[in-house]
Amino acid sequence: MALYAIGDTHLSLGGDKPMDVFGGGWSGYVEKLRAGFEDVAAEDTVVLCGDLSWGMGLEEALPDFAFLNALPGRKILLKGNHDYWWNTAAKMNAFFRDNGLDTLSILHNNCQLYGETALCGTRGWFYEEDRGEHSAKIFNRELIRLEASLKAAGEREKLCFLHYPPLYQGYCCQQIVDLLERYGVKRCFYGHLHGGSHRLAVRGERGGVDYQLVSADFLGFRPQKILD
Ligand SMILES: [Fe+2]
Ligand SMILES: [Fe+2]
C-alpha cells in the first residue's frame, strides 16, 4: 500500500482544451498519465491536487472523471483554480455515485485517512487571485476550509495538499503557512505551477514544513510516491 500525489492533470476528454497544443512536456500527456500510473496498485491512494478537468460542469467533466476512475488506486480530488465543474460536496458525491465513479472522492472541508495519517487540504491562495475586496472573502473562506480540514484530523499526523503554492519565489501566503505550522503539518504538497514557473517553486524545508511541487508536468506525469 502506498500514497501518491499529483496535480494538474488538465484533462479535456469531453471538451476542446487539450493541453497537447502547448507542446513540450504536454504533448501526448493523456497517454503519459496513463503510463505514469502503471506503478500505482489498486490498493494505493493518489491525491489529485486540483486543475483536474477543463469541464465547465460535472456532465462535461464526466469523460475526464471516467479516465481518472479507470486508473489504478483510490483517488482523492482537490479543487484547483480551473475546476469550474466543482460543486457542493453533496452534488459531487451523488454524481460520482450515480456514474459508478467508485474510486473518486473529494477533499472539501474535511480530511481523509490513509491508515492513521490524515490527508488534509483545500485549494489555497495565490497572489494571482488578488482582485480587491471580493477576493478577501474568498481568501478567508479558504483559510476557514483549511483550518476545518486540519481540525478534523485531530491529533493524527497530518499531510497537507493544496492546489496553490503557499510559497513561491518572492511570495509567501503567511496565513496559510501559519496554519500549517500551528497544526504541526510536516509535509505540504502543491501544484499549479507549470513550465517556466517550476524553477521559481519553493521546494524543501521552511519553518519545519517540507514543501514539494507535484504538478503533473513537473513530475513527468508520474504520480510521486510520498508514503509507504
Ligand atoms: Fe492552477
Ligand atoms: Fe494547472
Q: What is the pLDDT of residues 207-223, one digit of tens each?
A: 999 999 999 999 999 99
User: Residue range 85-111: average pLDDT?
Assistant: 96
Number of other CB atoms surrounding residue 169 within 10 Å = 10
221 or 20: which leads in pLDDT: 221
Q: What is the pLDDT of residue 105?
A: 97
How high is the mean pLDDT of the chain?
Answer: 96
Residue 119 pLDDT > 80: yes
Ligand nearest to the CA of 165: 1
Q: What is the pLDDT of residue 16?
A: 86
Q: What is the pLDDT of residue 132?
A: 77
User: What's the total number of domains in the chain?
Assistant: 1
Domain that holds residue 118: 3-227
**Which residues are in the CB-under-5-Å shell of ion ligand 1?**
51, 80-81, 192
Report the range of poorest mean pLDDT among 49-63, 76-90, 123-137.
123-137
Which CATH number do you get for residue 169?
3.60.21.10
d(CA 181, CA 173): 12
Distance 8 CA to ligand 2 centre (A): 5
Number of other CB atoms surrounding residue 79 within 10 Å = 24
Q: Choose the most confident range, by mean pLDDT, from 20-24, 106-110, 151-155.
A: 151-155
d(CA 71, CA 119): 20
Distance 50 CA to ligand 1 centre (A): 7
d(CA 203, CA 169): 10
Residue 225 pLDDT > 90: yes
d(CA 146, CA 139): 11
Residue written as grid cell 504538478: 215
Ligand nearest to the CA of 81: 1
Distance 184 CA to ligand 2 centre (A): 27
